[in-house]
Amino acid sequence: MVSSKAMVMAFVVVLAIPTLLFSSHTFAELPRLEHSLKSDGSLSLLVIGDWGRKGEFNQSQVANQMGRIGEELDINFVISTGDNFYDNGLTGVDDKAFEESFTNIYAAKSLQKQWYSVLGNHDYRGDVLAQLSPVLRELDRKWLCMRSFILDAEIVQFFFVDTTPFVKSYWNDTQIHNDWREVAPRQNYITNLLKDLDMALKESTATWKFVIGHHTIRSVSVHGDTIELVEELLPVLKANNVDLYMNGHDHCLQHISSKDSPIQFMTSGGGSKSWGGVYRPNSDELQFFYDGQGFMSLELTKRDLKMVFYDVFGQNLYEWSTTKDAYPSM
């Protein structure tokens, strides 16, 4: 039953997105999508998280600036790091919040590109299958949300990971209902996901490997580190030379460098309500922390990566860049 549903979903996605195709790789269970580069071989995109509040808490202001920067950078697509609809996800495919928090807010011309979204813990409080449903794509073609999947863009592979099921406290919460359909039992889900992710990362020949999840791995803000991800996900990322881990969950912008690996932790969770007022340093190296609203851009070539954090006024707050050696010494 589950697998036939997944087949239908895959079929609908292929039909609905002519520029995205499932590739013929069969070595991993994770669904695969493709996105082409610009004609000059580069790629640019925006990353936003923790946003769906019907325009309130400056969601609309952040969206306006995303539209402006999106146009400047001629973005290829947008990544949402989850907590797409507050407070309790969507009630179903006919929930007006989809239009009020997404379609009507991200209306700028430059944002009418493909959005690739993961689920956050608040999304799990509602009807998760609604957010994953192709019916929403009929309402707004830029929407695409899946649990865990791989996006292949030639020079870079993005590995989207469904992180909410990792967090044990959600499973034990008697106050808040979580929609674990097609997920439970937890341990099977996590084990299979980590195995598929590890295999896909090992097989990857992309120059850049980016992993996206809703939850923090390392964070100095309200939620801090997510211990289950530090223990179970981070070792897989370290073993496979992942360049970036991007997340939301904490409503801020932050860049933390791993001290014992090349991984850079980027939080882009400033899509609406923000200003948590918490700063708790951890043992990795904090490069930048802004406890407010905003978003992130990424510009990429085979050799160069540049990221920028912007605030609610579209002001450039912080830039970081790195280069891949064309001829690595190993």
Among positions 75-104, residues that touch Zn ion (CB under 5 A) are 83
Compute the least distance from the CB of residue 266 to Zn ion, in Å: 16
Compute the least distance from the CB of residue 252 to Zn ion, in Å: 12
Q: How many CB atoms are closer than 10 A to CB 174?
A: 5
**Residue closer to Zn ion (CB basis): 209 or 223:** 223
Closest CA to 246 of 270, 228, 227, 222: 270
Compute the least distance from the CB of residue 120 to Zn ion, in Å: 4
**Residue closer to Zn ion (CB basis): 20 or 146:** 146
User: Is 215 assigned a ligand-binding role in the annotation?
Assistant: no
From candidates 249, 271, 295, 311, binder to Zn ion by CB under 5 A: 249
120 binds Zn ion (CB under 5 A): yes
Compute the least distance from the CB of residue 88 to Zn ion, in Å: 12
Which segment (30-38, 163-171, 178-186, 242-250) binds Zn ion by CB under 5 A?
242-250
User: Is 251 assigned a ligand-binding role in the annotation?
Assistant: yes
**Residue closer to Zn ion (CB basis): 79 or 305:** 79
d(Cα 256, Cα 96) in Å, to the nearest integer?
Answer: 37
Compute the least distance from the CB of residue 253 to Zn ion, in Å: 15
User: Is 86 assigned a ligand-binding role in the annotation?
Assistant: yes
User: Is 123 assigned a ligand-binding role in the annotation?
Assistant: no
**Residue closer to Zn ion (CB basis): 113 or 122:** 122
Q: Which two tokens stand for residue 133?
A: 């449903």
**Residue closer to Zn ion (CB basis): 119 or 193:** 119
From candidates 58, 110, 114, 121, binder to Zn ion by CB under 5 A: 121
Q: Which of 35, 122, 215, 223 is catalytic?
A: 223
User: Is 83 assigned a ligand-binding role in the annotation?
Assistant: yes
Which segment (1-9, 114-122, 187-195, 196-204) binds Zn ion by CB under 5 A?
114-122
Q: Which two tokens stand for residue 107?
A: 């209306």
**Residue closer to Zn ion (CB basis): 273 or 306:** 273
Size of the site for Zn ion (CB under 5 A): 4
Among positions 143-172, residues that touch Zn ion (CB under 5 A) are none
Residue whose pair of structure tokens reads 């044990």 in the numeric block: 168
User: Is 214 assigned a ligand-binding role in the annotation?
Assistant: yes
Residue 14 — φ and ψ, nearest 5°? -60, -45
Measured in whole angstroms, how far is the alpha carbon of residue 287 from the centre of its chain? Answer: 21
Which segment (167-175, 181-189, 245-253, 272-280) binds Zn ion by CB under 5 A?
245-253
d(Cα 175, Cα 201) in Å, to the nearest integer?
Answer: 37
122 tagged catalytic = no
Residue positions annotated with a catalytic role: 223
Binding-site residue numbers for Fe cation are 50, 83, 86, 121, 214, 249, 251
Binding-site residue numbers are 50, 83, 86, 121, 214, 249, 251
Would you tell me which residues interact with Zn ion (CB under 5 A)? Answer: 83, 120-121, 249
